[in-house]
């Protein structure tokens, strides 16, 4: 996965990989910027949180631009993603229903520019603040040769995940190298497929619509979207 991301950096460079639209504004991440964010987050996961090859991680950030960053980070770092993982990366509203140890919840800000949350309850990890302390040079310590994601009891290796993403791409009529809009509620497996595997393995530029009742026609025209996918 990390090698695929580096290939994208060489081939796509300043071209947009992720665009985020919300009521708070619009953010665009070039391929280089995206890769730098993944590198800093990768160093944080391994050196900061001291996650290991056997660790598992859940990510629930919806259609925020931080979602593909942290999902790609886990995949690049060789840390299995799982909807049953004890550790969760989420926004601060997850605190209200969190029942596990506080240091197992890594809070990522909703701020458009990634500014850290303020005044988090004691014990919770302020991921948006901590990640800033790590460098943007990253080299994976190991590769995951087994399951890279487990969702609803089913596990997928990296080749299986790529094959599934390709099948979903064909099913939705998405051509490689095009610009795709993504809206609606999204689960862990869908997020990995549409937010990470498709842009990195099939050269897509994704537009994450993080709005209620978005004007699809207007957004499609303004963002030059060639295909719009609405997930339930």
Residue 160 lies in domain: 2-231
Rounded to an integer, what distance in angstroms lies between the CA atom of residue 231 and that of residue 190? 8
| Mean pLDDT, rounded, for 88-93 | 96
pLDDT over 90 (residue 213) = no
With cut-offs at 50, 70 and 90, classify the pLDDT of residue 142. confident
Question: 64 and 210 in contact (C-beta within 8 Å)?
Answer: yes
| Mean pLDDT, rounded, for 125-141 | 90
At residue 205, what are phi and psi to the nearest 5 degrees?
-110, 120
Residue 171 maps to which CATH number?
Answer: 3.40.50.12780
Helix axes 66-77, 2-12, angle to 10 degrees: 130
- The pLDDT tens digits of the residues spanning 64-74 come to 999 999 999 99
- The pLDDT tens digits of the residues spanning 152-178 come to 999 999 999 999 999 999 999 999 999
**Residue-level pLDDT at 42:** 94
Residues of the chain with pLDDT > 90, as a percent, come to 80
One-character DSSP codes across 11-47: HHTTSEEEEEEETTEEEEEEHHHHHHHHHHHHHIIII
Question: 156 and 146 in contact (C-beta within 8 Å)?
Answer: no
- Is beta strand 179-184 parallel, antiparallel or unpaired with respect to 205-210? parallel
pLDDT over 80 (residue 227) = yes
Rounded to an integer, what distance in angstroms lies between the CA atom of residue 15 and that of residue 200? 12
Rounded to an integer, what distance in angstroms lies between the CA atom of residue 129 and that of residue 53? 24
Question: 29 and 36 in contact (C-beta within 8 Å)?
Answer: no
**187 class by beta-carbon count within 10 Å (0-12 exposed, 13-18 middle, 19+ buried):** middle
pLDDT over 80 (residue 10) = yes
**Mean pLDDT, the chain, as a whole number?**
93
Question: 126 and 120 in contact (C-beta within 8 Å)?
Answer: yes
Mean pLDDT lowest among 5-19, 160-174, 186-200: 5-19
**Residue-level pLDDT at 183:** 93
With cut-offs at 50, 70 and 90, classify the pLDDT of residue 13. confident
The sign of the dihedral angle between the CA atoms of 46, 84, 196, 144 is positive
Residues in the chain: 232
- Domain count along the chain: 1
With cut-offs at 50, 70 and 90, classify the pLDDT of residue 219. very high
**Residue-level pLDDT at 95:** 96
């Amino acid at each position: 996965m990390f090698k695929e991301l580096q290939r994208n950096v060489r081939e796509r460079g300043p071209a947009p990989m992720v665009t985020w639209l919300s009521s708070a504004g619009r953010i665009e991440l070039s391929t280089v910027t995206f890769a730098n964010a993944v590198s800093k987050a990768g160093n944080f996961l391994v050196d900061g949180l001291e996650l290991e090859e056997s660790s598992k991680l859940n990510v629930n950030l919806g259609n925020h631009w931080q979602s593909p960053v942290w999902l790609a980070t886990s995949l690049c770092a060789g840390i299995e993603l799982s909807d049953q993982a004890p550790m969760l990366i989420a926004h601060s509203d997850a605190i209200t229903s969190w029942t596990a140890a506080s240091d197992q919840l890594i809070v990522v800000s909703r701020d458009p520019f990634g500014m850290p949350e303020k005044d988090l309850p004691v014990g919770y990890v302020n991921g948006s603040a901590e990640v800033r302390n790590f460098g943007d040079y990253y080299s994976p310590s190991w590769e995951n040769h087994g399951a890279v994601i487990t969702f609803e009891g089913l596990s997928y290796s990296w080749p299986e995940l790529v094959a599934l993403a390709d099948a979903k791409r064909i099913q939705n009529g998405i051509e490689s190298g095009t610009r795709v809009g993504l809206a609606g509620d999204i689960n862990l497996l869908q997020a990995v497929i549409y937010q990470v595997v498709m842009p990195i393995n099939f050269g897509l530029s994704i537009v994450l619509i993080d709005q209620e009742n978005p004007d699809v026609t207007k957004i499609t025209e303004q963002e030059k979207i060639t295909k719009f996918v609405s997930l339930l």
